[in-house]
Amino acid sequence: MLLFLFIFLLLGSPVSADGFDLIYNSSFNSYRQTIGLSYASLPESKESFEPGISYDISLVKGVQTDDVWGNYTLESLTENSYWQRKEGLLSEVSGPPGTQIDLLYSYLNDTGHSIEVSKVLLPFSRGDSLLGNWMNLIANVPGVSYRDISISWEQLVLSRKGLMKEYVGPGYIENGMGGSSIVDTFFIKDFINIEKIEMLAEGQMINGKIVLRNLKGEDLENIAISHGSFSYNYTIPAMETVEIEYSFEVEEWEDILTISNPNFSRECVLYGNPLSDWTTTEAITALAFREDGGWVNGSYLKPEGEDFCITQIPYSVNIPLRKPQTEEGEEAVVQPREEVFDTEPFVREEQILGVQVISQGDPIKNNNFVLPKTGVVIY
């Protein structure tokens, strides 16, 4: 009878007292948790005549990781006794390919007693990944898989579905203890893979051929190619290649071949629910496994709407080439310029990461806005 009265008094809204270890009802859970997004670094934006990547720095959004500590806490990111995750705070990063993103996790044991949290699950997609999926934008993140986690909530059993990644939990936590940390780091990837560049000079003409593959599941429109006097826009169909051929006179040669992607790509993995709704699970920011009862949810994103978004902004890749020396009637070749470029690493899919060796050093350490090793170069 006393247990029934205890349950009756607590049901109806989230409360601060923790009774989860008695009846395994997550609405009584007082282990507080949420996530955040920040960026650790951006690739250096080059001028159009310099090798590397160019982009509009004003389109970059987000908080740099160095500015997170001391300025953002679990208390400042949440309200309503930590149950409600505020929108628009430490929840968005926009940048070009190569932007390094940090995934942050904050927690607090507010249960009134010691607990052990052995593992946590953080979302990488909406329940329906077609509605939002970070994996479409970020490169080389192992361990992400589809999960379906059941949570007991008052008189209901809720299910949080979608792509998630499991991390080691903070372990044994005394009452009143908490913390924040970077649990993962990943990069915004490039959708355009250069599979082949062919530059052949014959007489006073240069004949160029470029083969580009679209690694995205959607068409890439208005991809601009410019080299010398040649300039044109192309659409690259989803997961397919285009072969681009052009010619111009030797005196129209320029040292930089530029490939520009003017498109924005955005993926959001949480959808907030109304202030009175505590059962829509796509608003849950994190899940944790308490050894004294099972899975519990963290704060709910509120109010209604998309958040926790990663956006790839428009950019251009400037690829350096060396002008060929030609003589009338003879065939010459185009060679890459031999220099090391001071540019942040450019991130592509693992199977195509890398560059043609074009210098005495190892250009992958400083620049890979050139040909991947899987590409074919004909000089």
Q: From CA 206, how far away is CA 83, in angstroms rounded?
A: 64
pLDDT band of 48, cuts 50, 70, 90: confident
Q: pTM of the entire structure? A: 0.82
Edge-first strand order for the sheet with 305-312 is 92-95, 305-312, 265-272
Mean pLDDT of the chain: 83
The identity of residue 122, as a single letter, is L
What fold is seen in the domain 192-264+314-378? Immunoglobulin-like (2.60.40)
pLDDT digits (tens, 9 = 90+) for 223-248: 999 998 899 999 999 999 999 999 99
Q: From CA 320, how far away is CA 315, in angstroms rounded?
A: 16
- Segment 170-175 shows an average pLDDT of 95
| Beta pairing partners, 32 | 108
CATH 2.60.40 boundaries in the chain? 192-264+314-378
pLDDT digits (tens, 9 = 90+) for 198-213: 888 888 888 999 999 9
Exposed e or buried b for every residue in 264-289, given b needs 16+ CB within 10 A? ebebbbbbbbeeeebebbbbbbbbbb
Task: Please state, for a pLDDT cut of 70, what percent of the chain lies above it.
Answer: 81
